[in-house]
Homo-oligomer: A and B are copies of this chain.
């Protein structure tokens, strides 16, 4: 595909066909301008199989908003839609609708509220709220979910990896196995979620982080094939990068060849007044090799040299490596804490693909529709109570206890002000028997989480650089119960409905159930 084709593939036609067929239907019925609200939320934390997330990190909003602001139906896009033929050979889209798309088919008029990027977020809470004309709000669905699902998924994974690495330096190395150009969004989300640097050169520059990377096995192999050795390869590297010398030591044998050769080259650098950066271990028993390499580096006076670990790492493997180091280091006379402090983690594939759970099931549900001048709540009832979405125009609040820890997220009706209430009733979203009440004095803060992003045709918020988003994430994590942050089987964080929202939901469920045609009866099993 040429550049013009790529523009098409990434523009407003980056959309599911059904959004367009629905939009035309609304247009034909004169409903295209009916004001509606859609809520975006996800239903479950990522479950990686052997380990599970207890929180997510919100990400992707800035790129979504940029996409929204740029997306419009260009003449070329309309030509493509015009070419679509139905099964009887007639055009799928009429000229009336295409003309309207060309004139009014953009997202600038939609209002948007969202939980800012970098914040800790939880399931079944509105993370993004879209208000505007039905046809356009519907058209936004595909791209909104595409942007927010993926970056939130990866920021969450990065945060877990960073937690398991106990805050150690984390490098994102996943470009070669990421999902094609999704790699760039993965890099950004990883930097929001916990990565300190990335190997992705373009994104590094665009996001203002210096890229990281030194050399591959192929460099040592090339030297070997040319009749030289690993030592010569390392020397050549040190010659070109004397102050940034980080050597990959496992091409031949990490302890027998790589580390000794690296130490020789480091000694040469030291004599010339340079300070070597360290080594990278990329295969074998990383804990054992790190202990031995640490011992060898220390003995040679390179106690400050870093040890970068890589090779299909994820949060569980890093946890295993650190546990093993703690258990075994002292046996070799190595101080485990000092060793852990010098470790750096290169994490690629399993970070940028969120190995174990490669998607986040974010959804975009109609919550309210304009009728007789007001927005009336919409309920999508489901056989399973947990899947019945919360109706109406809502806001999201976070309650902090006296210690400053987040104790619950509260979904309330828009007009409610739980921050000014004396007591707050917290209802379980689907189990009517579970309820609790907190007095305002038990809380240190009641924080509104949704901020205005777009409204009145313009941007209403700033999008800070990834460094600031990372700081936001750290601040949120510090206010999160350690049990919720656990890598395996985390505590379940409380997500609650306000009493009034709960009552509205019950009322609508009753009304739906009472209806004639709309009855919701589970299918009878075979008798």
* Candidates B22, B66, B142; contact of A219 at CB < 8 Å: B22
Q: Which residue of B lies closest to A251 (CB)?
A: B380
Query: A417 contacts the other chain (Cβ, under 8 Å)?
Result: no
Residues A179 and B186 in contact, CB atoms below 8 Å apart: yes
CB distance from A147 to the nearest CB of B (A): 7
Residues A353 and B349 in contact, CB atoms below 8 Å apart: no
Residues B25 and A215 in contact, CB atoms below 8 Å apart: yes
In this complex, the member of A66, A178, A230 whose beta carbon has the largest number of chain B beta carbons within 10 angstroms is A178
Binds B, one of A281-289, A439-447, A454-462, A492-500: A281-289
* Candidates B17, B332, B369, B519; contact of A201 at CB < 8 Å: B17
* C-alpha gap A49/B355 in the complex (Å): 12
Given contacts A20-B201, A21-B241, contact A222 B134 (CB under 8 A): yes
* Candidates B80, B90, B176, B288; contact of A205 at CB < 8 Å: B80
Specify how many copies of this chain sit in the oligomer. 2
* Candidates B49, B212, B292, B364; contact of A49 at CB < 8 Å: B49
* C-alpha gap A480/B143 in the complex (Å): 39
Note all chain B residues with C-beta closer than 8 A to A519.
252-253, 256-257
Note all chain B residues with C-beta closer than 8 A to A317.
none
Query: A138 contacts the other chain (Cβ, under 8 Å)?
Result: yes
* C-alpha gap A92/B245 in the complex (Å): 12
Note all chain B residues with C-beta closer than 8 A to A195.
none
Note all chain B residues with C-beta closer than 8 A to A202.
8-11, 13-15, 80
Nearest 8 CB-CB pairings of A with B = A182-B182, A17-B213, A179-B182, A18-B213, A13-B202, A179-B179, A358-B358, A180-B185
Q: Name 8 extra pairs, CB < 8 A, besides A18-B216, A25-B219, A221-B380.
A: A10-B181, A21-B241, A29-B236, A83-B205, A92-B241, A229-B518, A254-B523, A355-B358
- A residues within 8 Å of B by Cβ? 1-3, 5-6, 8-11, 13-22, 24-26, 28-29, 31, 34, 36, 38, 49, 63, 66, 70, 80-81, 83-88, 90, 92, 134, 138, 141-142, 145-147, 149-151, 173, 175-186, 199-206, 210-219, 221-222, 224-227, 229-231, 236-237, 239-241, 243-244, 251-257, 261, 277, 283-285, 288-289, 292, 328, 331-332, 349-350, 353-355, 358-362, 364-366, 368-369, 371, 376-378, 380-383, 517-521, 523, 525-526
